[in-house]
Every structure is written in structure tokens, then in C-alpha cells.
Amino acid sequence: MARFFLAQFLAILLVWVGQDQHWWSWYTLQALALLQGGISAFLGLMLGGPRWWVPMHLLFFPAVVFFMELNLPPLLYLGLFLVLLLVYWGHFLIRVPLFLTNLSTARELLLLFPVESSWTVMDAGCGTGSLLRYLAYARPRCIFYGTEQAPLPWFMAWWHARRMKNCHVRWGDFWADDWRSMDLVYVFLSPVPMGRVWKKALAEMRPGSTLISNSFPVPDVEPTKVVRVSDRGNTCLYVYRLPEVK
């Protein structure tokens, strides 16, 4: 996150210096905002930031200029900030956006569960809990747990699952969860924490249990199986079977 704001600051500084030195023969505020977005995207990559930050760099400052020109009431911005805080609280610390599992992926994931299974399953970072509820209805003999740190998605997940006997949602940091009793752990995070996720799985999960990652593979670890989902995003499920004790 520090690299994101460093790239933004350097781009603003470069555009400001260029304007002062008349590097730009013509400009408008909107054009300078777009120029700043392009420079910050380039600098972000040069500083080693992830590629999925590029659209954020491109749109961040132009969006600031756009909303400034609307002259909206200040309380509206405060309200928007509070909503974003409730939705994304904690996500910026672990550098994981709020991703929701689509229905096509949920169906493919369900096929990895034996029909008569009685597994204990964890969705680490469960968001609004839509995947948990789908799986819990389809596999009533299994027990499902979800952890979510952002307040608003957690409340939505907890509220909808509160009467389901085989689905339990906790508010907190999934890194603090104990995975020793889990037969399967599902994650849909980002490339950043996947190495740490694998270390936690190796340290805590039982031999023969399963870790499944949506879209983001564990670096330098060959998955046991890759399931390709027929959806618009060509989603892949990376399945890792924890090694048996020899």
C-alpha cells in the first residue's frame, strides 16, 4: 500500500513540476488528471506493485478531480467513506480486495465434495457468505465455518446464516483461526498472501486434507488438480492435497 501512495505522490509531483516548467504546451485540469493517472500506473509497476493496481492508479486521481467538480455536499463524502470503511475494513492491511465467488465457481466447487461427505469446511475470508450458504444447503451433513473481517460483509453473512445449523460465521481475522479440524479450507484472496496461506495449511491442517484457492495459485507449489470453470473470467480452482505422513 505504501508503494501505491508513493507512486501517486511522485506522479502528482512530476505533473506539478511539468506544469510549472511549461513542459505541457496545453492542458486542462482533466487532462492533467489523466496524465497523472498514467504516470502513477507506470511508476507503480516500476516500484514492484501488483498489476491489478494499474486500473486503480489510472482512475484514482481522475476520480478525485471528477467528484471535486460536482460540488457535492461534504456529508455525502463522509457517508461514502464510512460505507467503504465498513465494506473494506482490514482488507488494505492484508492487501486483499473483496472478491465474491460466482455461481458457476460454486457449482464446480460443490462437485469436489462427495455427496455423502460429512466434512468440516472453512471459507477463510467469506465475504457476504453467499458461497457458504450455497454449500451448506447442498451438503447438509457437512459443517461450514466462515471468517470475515470487514464489518458490513460479516453482518450480511452472519444474518443470513444465523438459523442454519451447519453454517457458522465469525467476525475476525482468519489468520487467527485454527485449521487443525478442517477437512477443506477455501480461499479467494490475492497473489500476495498465498505463500503465507500455504505455510499455515502445512502447519495446521491434517495430512490428506485439502486447500482450494480460487484464481491465485500457491507460488512454487504444484497443485494436485486444477479445475477450470466455464465462466466469463475463465476462473481456475487450484486444489492442493496436504501430503500424507510417510
Residues in the chain predicted with pLDDT less than 70, given as ranges, are 1-2, 5, 19-27, 50, 52, 72, 74, 76-98, 245-246
| Domain 103-241 superfamily per CATH | Vaccinia Virus protein VP39 (3.40.50.150)
> What's the pLDDT at 48?
76
CA gap 30, 28 in Å, rounded: 5
CA gap 157, 164 in Å, rounded: 11
Q: Where are the domains of the chain?
A: 2-71, 103-241
> What's the pLDDT at 157?
93
Q: What does the pLDDT look like over 29-43, one tens digit per residue?
A: 777 777 878 888 888
Question: Three cell numbers at 158?
Answer: 452472519
Q: What does the pLDDT look like over 73-86, one tens digit per residue?
A: 767 656 665 655 55
Task: Decide if 241 contacts 205 (C-beta within 8 A).
Answer: no
Query: Scanning the structure block, which residue is given the C-alpha cell 465494506?
Result: 87
Provide φ and ψ at 38, rounded to 5°: -65, -45
> What's the pLDDT at 134?
95
Q: 25 exposed, middle or buried (CB, 10 Å; 0-12, 13-18, 19+)?
A: exposed
> What's the pLDDT at 194?
94
* Amino acid identity at 207: P
Give the three-class secondary structure for 172.
coil
DSSP H or E stretch at residue 116: none
Instruction: Provide the whole-model pTM.
Output: 0.69
